[in-house]
Every structure is written in C-alpha cells, then in structure tokens.
Amino acid sequence: MGIIQTIKDTFLGIVAGHWGLDEDDDSNFFSKQKIIVFLFAMLLSLSLWVIVNMGRDYNITMIIPIEITNMPEDIALSSEIPENATVSVSGEGWSLFNLYMNPPLISLSVENQQVNMFEQVRQQVGSISDVTVMQADPMFLEIETEQRITRKVPVRSKVTLSTRDQYGVLGTPGFSPDSVTISGPASRVNAVENWSTLESDVENVDTDLELTIELEEPEAGITIEPEQVVLEARVAEFTEAQVRIPVRSRNLPSGVAITFSPSSLLVRYNVPIQQYNDVQNIRPFIAYVDYERIEADTTGLIRPQVEQVTDEYDVRLRNFQPTRVSYFEILPD
C-alpha cells in the first residue's frame, strides 16, 4: 500500500505540474514529452512488479462469514454462534486476491450439533485452486437449539423526566405500546420479566409530551417488536393552595379519648391551575396520629401523618404547620 500511495502522490504532483505548463513554450513541450515517457515507464514497471509478485505464494488471514441454514420457525439457537470465522490460508497471490475479494459463505445446518469448522472452510475454499487452508478459528462449533417461544412483557422506563419550575406531570407517564413482544429460546425468554428503555434525560418540559424512546437492543438470538415506544405525559402548570384540617386520632382503645393542641394544621399543597377553584370547597387531605405512636412517645410532642384522600384532583403536598402537636389523654369520669 505504501508503494501504491507513493506512485499516486507522484502522479498527482506530475499532473498538477503538467497543467501549470505553458503550451506555447517549446521547452515546455519537450518537458511534457519527458513526463509522458516517465509516466509510461512507471506504469509499465508497476505492472511488471505486480505480475511477478502476485505469482508468488503468500500466507494471509481473512474473515469469512458464517450463516445458519434450515432453521425451522419453531426452533431457536440456545448457544451463541459467531458471525464470522477467522481463517488462515496460503496460496498464489492471484488466487488469494480472488478469494479475498469474493470470500465464501460458510453455511451451517442446525441438524449438525457439532461442526468441524476446519473441514467446513476447507470444503468451501477447496473449489479455488492453489489455495490451502492452514487454520480456522473457532476450530469446532457446538450448535445447541431449543423450542422458540413468543411472549409479551411490560416496558420498564429508564427515562428521567423533569419539568420546568411551577410545572408538573399529571398522573403517571406511560408508554405506547406499554409492552413488547419478545421471541427466542424458551429458557431465555421465560427469564425476562420486562424490557427496559435506553437511559435518557428529558428536561424542562412545560407542555404535553409525546416522545419516541428507543428500547435496549436484544442479545443475539432474541428479537423484540417493536424496537421503540412513545413516551406520553400530560403536563400542567401548578399553583399553590392551602387548607386547614383537623388532627384526629386513630385506633383508640375503647374508653380512651385524645385531644391535640393545636387541634388543626395548615396544609400547603400544589394543584393544577385549572383545578384550583374546584379544590377550594373540599379537604383533599386528612391529618391523624395513631394511638400506638402516642403510647411509644416520651416527649409529649408528636408529628401528625398527613394523607391525601382524593384521587379526583392531582394535588401535591408541600408542607404543613405546625409539624408537631402536643396531645392530652382525656380520662373518663
């Protein structure tokens, strides 16, 4: 390749110089004649060099593709088969050149559980005269098969979705379709519980979203359908709201009464702007303290638990005040 590149560079330099000559100058005319003679001599020398050297014997290593044939639709490979074999061959230069330019395809049948790759390559290359197979890697192949099955599994998200300030996602983002069909060897397909998307970050979202997401590529022997899904998310602008709710007790034993001080909490939460007016007339949260926690407490102050009680509105708890309340047990008369 170095000789060829040198000749190419020399030729280009000569041509560039040729076009820079003035044809009206007699000395330039003779110079052009010399250049033509020189180029002819170079090309003749190169041709003779190629003819002489390509007639010699060489050793080369080449890559030959492998193909599995006669594969029934209900059968799948359970062992990984390499896509190519690395083969060392020797022979006359012209024969090796033809082999290199038109490599054979090694066809393997699933009916053969163990394959002698050296013999397979030798048979494929044997049709070319003056070429000898020296080595094949891998030397042997084990072809293992089992029943092919198809099943659906849910899509697992590896997408991190974040919105602009004061915006939020309504409900839970979903995928369309929400599952994929996988096909392959039964033992491997049955071990798959879900199929993940590629990891990606979607940032500063402030409108409803429909985004195509690529799925992870399957391993050899497994196919998936489809290869991508659409991430769908409803996005809305949120505003802050607040409501005052009483603190209640839970799981009180019979005859026991508890009072709290203060007796109510001021709860601040976020709500979509379009739902703001509707939630003003309801209490979307409750506050309570379980009696078991009161029994275990030794400080006299306890943190209430605040729980959302409506699914009709997409409310998001921010905080509540006070964060702790005192409590008193009312003894019966």
- The pLDDT of 146-173, averaged and rounded, is 92
Q: Which residues pair with 135 in a beta bridge?
A: 88
Kindly report, residue by residue over 117-135, the tens digit of the pLDDT: 888 888 777 666 677 778 8
Mean pLDDT of the chain: 83
Burial grade of 104 (CB within 10 A; 0-12, 13-18, 19 or more):
middle
- The pLDDT of 165-191, averaged and rounded, is 92
The whole-angstrom distance between residue 208's C-alpha and the CA centroid of its chain comes to 24
Kindly report, residue by residue over 256-292, the tens digit of the pLDDT: 889 999 999 999 999 999 999 999 989 999 999 999 9
Q: Percent of the chain, pLDDT > 90?
A: 47
Whole-angstrom Cα distance, residue 329 to residue 260?
9
pLDDT classification of 208: cutoffs 50, 70, 90: very high
Helix (H) or strand (E) holding 54: helix 26-54
Q: Find the farthest-apart pair of alpha carbons in the chain and give their distance in angstroms, rounded.
A: 135
Q: List all residues 6 or more positions away from 51 whose beta carbon is below 8 Å from its beta carbon.
A: none
Whole-angstrom Cα distance, residue 304 to residue 204?
34
Sign, Cα dihedral of 267, 273, 274, 276: positive
What token pair was written down for 321?
A: 């005040």
pLDDT classification of 314: cutoffs 50, 70, 90: very high
pLDDT classification of 21: cutoffs 50, 70, 90: very low
